[in-house]
Amino acid sequence: MKHKVTFLPSNVVVEVDEDAYPYGDDGKPGSILDVALAAGVALDHNCGGHCACTTCHVIVRAGGENLSPMQEDEEDRLDLAPGLEPTSRLGCQAVVRGDVTVEIPEF
């Protein structure tokens, strides 16, 4: 299945194909981080996408229901993220399953 991921504030729209996951080696296969790096969208990931930091923190602006459910380890790690919002996710853990719009916060 094909989906669109929109990255803000750059307004870059990336079309992804679930059948092509993973695109790289960082984050869960098909995660926002995986998609971003494959498309050349800068998304920090100091821990290499292993849910051990918060540098890939994104804010989901639309389509949150089209991401994999949050697991406890991601929820615990997010508590440490600067600028945390109710729709925050770690890009390395949130797997894309439909159209989604995410903002990469600048800190």
Give the ranges where the chain is alpha helix by DSSP (H). Answer: 32-38, 72-78
pLDDT score recorded for residue 22: 81
pLDDT score recorded for residue 36: 96
Residue range 38-92, pLDDT digits in tens: 999 999 999 999 999 999 999 999 999 999 999 999 999 999 999 999 999 999 9
- Residue 87 CA to residue 77 CA, distance in Å, equals 14
Could you give the 3-state DSSP secondary structure of residue 73? helix
pLDDT score recorded for residue 23: 84
- DSSP 8-state code for residue 65: G
- What domains, with CATH codes, occur in the chain? 2-103 (3.10.20.30)
Comparing C-alpha atoms, which of 34, 94, 25, 26 is closest to residue 59?
94
> Which DSSP helix (H) or strand (E) runs through 59?
strand 57-62
